[in-house]
């Protein structure tokens, strides 16, 4: 009684459960090895089959396989506009199987799209890698711990490594410590600021040698706003740097040449004005004395002044001409320094025949040869002219001392031109040979003669400096010292 009651109560539940396959929106079938035992409505609609129909060809082979093997088999069947996945489940102890179908059209489409986009992504990634590898510069992706995660072929090749060999390696393992630290400091700045750092000019050492790079570092920030790494792009700017360096040097040379030309122009204009003033004043006096002759001695004195000024003007012109002729490639020959001294002394005595001049040569060396040329005479003449010009004594004394001198394993002849002139104060000594002594305030340096002397000596790879004749008293006279290379 109790059992009947239970059965009665459960019948609606069982009937409801029996609807389970029929209400399934997906195809559900029960099949024997050759025909359909049951097919729900969804299956009928989809497969256009009824119960007791023969097993369709598309399922036949798989169903039989499943029944024989007694294991679940899955088969994907493409129908018109739909793809259905059938799970063929043999029923244990029976010679039939249940088939559960499900429409996988959309997921298949999505899967297909995924495959296609993966393919596209791979293709793009390959293209990108190819491009990055063949960029004429470095591309690196680093983590925030200073490890290289990706490098391009350019960088790997520069270190004679494979890309993979560099990945995971710290900068400190590749570069000199100071340099790696500098790279790392920049990385940390980018990580901290979350801002790119553009065009950092930095050195780079690799198997390609020492180079200069222009590097830009960009933070790679994830969706949470956290910096996950740094992308660094660097291009070799060594040639550009060299070019810029050359350009700077050229600009410096041009600027110096211009400044030199200005100094020469200024000195020339000043000296010529003074020469003309001497001549004009002298001429005025002569014109006056012509009508009313005064003292014949004064007349002679003024004529000599004019004569000296003409000589001074001529020397000024030759000095300017020679200044423009000298360059670093001036050819040097073996020259007897003593015969040129004799020649210069003759010139000085002749040019200043009105003055009492005593010139003495003090030398233990009788014969020598130095690396020089015809301009050697201009050195001697200008130094002696200087001694005469800046001298108030009735007798102008010039001593020329010659001795041997060795410095930095080079053999020089040392020439000292010592005079009893007005001397050169310490403040003037510094710029005396380049005409720059207090040029900005127009305090007077020496004239073009000494500029020429210095330029000739430098073209001989020699040296020049000036000392006092008496150590702590410049007013007693000057000692111009020059070193000229001996011919070995």
Partner 1 sequence: MASIFLVEDEFSLVRLYELVLTTFGHKIIAVANNGEEAVQKYKKLLHKPDIIIMDHRMPIKNGIDATEEILEINRDAKIIFASADKEAREKAEMMGVLSFKTKPFSNEKLLRNIEKALKRTIYSSAT
Task: Please give the residue ranges that form the binding site for partner 1 (CB under 8 A).
Answer: 269-270, 273-274, 276-282, 284-285, 288, 294, 298, 301-302, 305, 308-309, 392, 422, 424-425, 427-428, 438, 441-444
For residues 201 and 276, which CB has a smaller minimum distance to partner 1 in the complex?
276
3-state secondary structure of 423: coil
For residues 171 and 468, which CB has a smaller minimum distance to partner 1 in the complex?
468
For residues 134 and 444, which CB has a smaller minimum distance to partner 1 in the complex?
444
Helix (H) or strand (E) holding 286: helix 238-291
Phi first, then psi: give them for residue 460, nearest 5 degrees: -90, 0
d(CA 114, CA 104): 15
Crossing angle between the packed helical segments 238-291 and 448-459, to the nearest 10 degrees = 140
For residues 217 and 469, which CB has a smaller minimum distance to partner 1 in the complex?
469
Phi first, then psi: give them for residue 104, nearest 5 degrees: -110, 20
Q: How far is the CB of 419 from partner 1 (least distance, A)?
A: 15
Q: How far is the CB of 206 from partner 1 (least distance, A)?
A: 56
Q: How far is the CB of 351 from partner 1 (least distance, A)?
A: 14
For residues 302 and 341, which CB has a smaller minimum distance to partner 1 in the complex?
302
Q: How far is the CB of 231 from partner 1 (least distance, A)?
A: 59
Q: How far is the CB of 468 from partner 1 (least distance, A)?
A: 15
Q: How far is the CB of 175 from partner 1 (least distance, A)?
A: 56
For residues 126 and 443, which CB has a smaller minimum distance to partner 1 in the complex?
443
Q: How far is the CB of 475 from partner 1 (least distance, A)?
A: 11
Q: How far is the CB of 478 from partner 1 (least distance, A)?
A: 12
Q: How far is the CB of 321 from partner 1 (least distance, A)?
A: 21
For residues 194 and 298, which CB has a smaller minimum distance to partner 1 in the complex?
298
The number of beta carbons lying within 10 Å of the beta carbon of residue 239 is 10
Find how far residue 441's CA is from the centre of its chain: 39
For residues 64 and 436, which CB has a smaller minimum distance to partner 1 in the complex?
436
Q: How far is the CB of 439 from partner 1 (least distance, A)?
A: 10
For residues 211 and 270, which CB has a smaller minimum distance to partner 1 in the complex?
270
What's the CA angle centered on 460, arms 454 and 465, to 5 degrees? 35
For residues 40 and 478, which CB has a smaller minimum distance to partner 1 in the complex?
478
């Amino acid at each position: 009684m109790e059992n009947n009651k239970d059965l009665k109560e459960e019948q609606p539940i069982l009937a409801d459960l029996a609807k389970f396959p029929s209400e399934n929106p997906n195809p559900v079938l029960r099949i024997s090895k050759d025909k359909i035992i049951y097919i729900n409505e969804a299956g009928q609609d989809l497969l256009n089959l009824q119960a007791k129909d023969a097993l369709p060809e598309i399922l036949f082979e798989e169903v039989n396989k499943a029944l024989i093997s007694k294991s679940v088999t899955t088969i994907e069947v493409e129908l018109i506009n739909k793809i259905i996945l059938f799970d063929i489940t043999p029923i244990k102890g029976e010679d039939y199987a249940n088939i559960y179908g499900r429409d996988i059209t959309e997921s298949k489409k999505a899967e297909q799209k995924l495959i296609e986009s993966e393919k596209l992504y791979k293709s793009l990634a390959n293209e990108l890698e190819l491009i990055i590898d063949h960029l004429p510069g470095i591309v690196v992706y680093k983590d925030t711990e200073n490890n290289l995660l990706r490098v391009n072929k350019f960088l790997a090749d520069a270190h004679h490594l494979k890309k993979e060999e560099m990945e995971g390696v710290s900068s400190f393992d590749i570069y000199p410590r100071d340099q790696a630290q500098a790279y790392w400091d920049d990385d940390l700045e980018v990580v901290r600021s979350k801002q790119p750092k553009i065009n950092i000019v930095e050195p780079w050492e690799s198997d390609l040698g020492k180079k200069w790079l222009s590097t830009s570092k960009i933070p790679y920030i994830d969706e949470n706003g956290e910096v996950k790494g740094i992308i660094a792009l660097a291009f070799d700017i060594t040639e550009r740097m060299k070019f810029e360096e050359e350009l700077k040097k050229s600009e410096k040379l041009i600027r110096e040449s211009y400044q030199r030309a200005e100094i020469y122009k200024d000195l020339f204009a000043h000296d010529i004005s003074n020469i003309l003033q001497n001549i004009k004043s002298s001429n005025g006096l002569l014109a006056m004395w012509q009508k009313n002759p005064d003292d014949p001695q004064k007349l002679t004195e003024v004529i000599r002044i004019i004569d000296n000024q003409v000589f001074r003007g001529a020397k000024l012109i030759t000095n300017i001409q020679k200044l423009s002729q000298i360059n670093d490639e001036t050819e040097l020959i073996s020259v007897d320094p003593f015969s040129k001294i004799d020649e210069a002394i003759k010139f000085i005595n002749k040019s200043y025949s009105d003055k009492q001049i005593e010139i003495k040569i003090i030398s233990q060396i009788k014969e020598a040869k130095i690396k020089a040329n015809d301009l050697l005479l201009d050195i001697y003449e200008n130094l002696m002219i200087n001694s005469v010009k800046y001298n108030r004594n009735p007798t102008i004394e010039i001593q020329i001392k010659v001795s041997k001198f060795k410095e930095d394993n080079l053999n020089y002849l040392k020439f000292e031109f010592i005079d009893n002139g007005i001397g050169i104060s310490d403040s003037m000594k510094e710029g005396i040979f380049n005409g720059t002594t207090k040029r900005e305030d127009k305090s007077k340096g020496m004239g073009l003669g000494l500029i020429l002397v210095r330029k000739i000596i430098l073209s001989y790879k020699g040296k020049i400096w000036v000392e006092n004749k008496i150590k702590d008293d410049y007013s007693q006279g000057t000692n111009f010292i020059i070193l000229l290379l001996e011919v070995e």
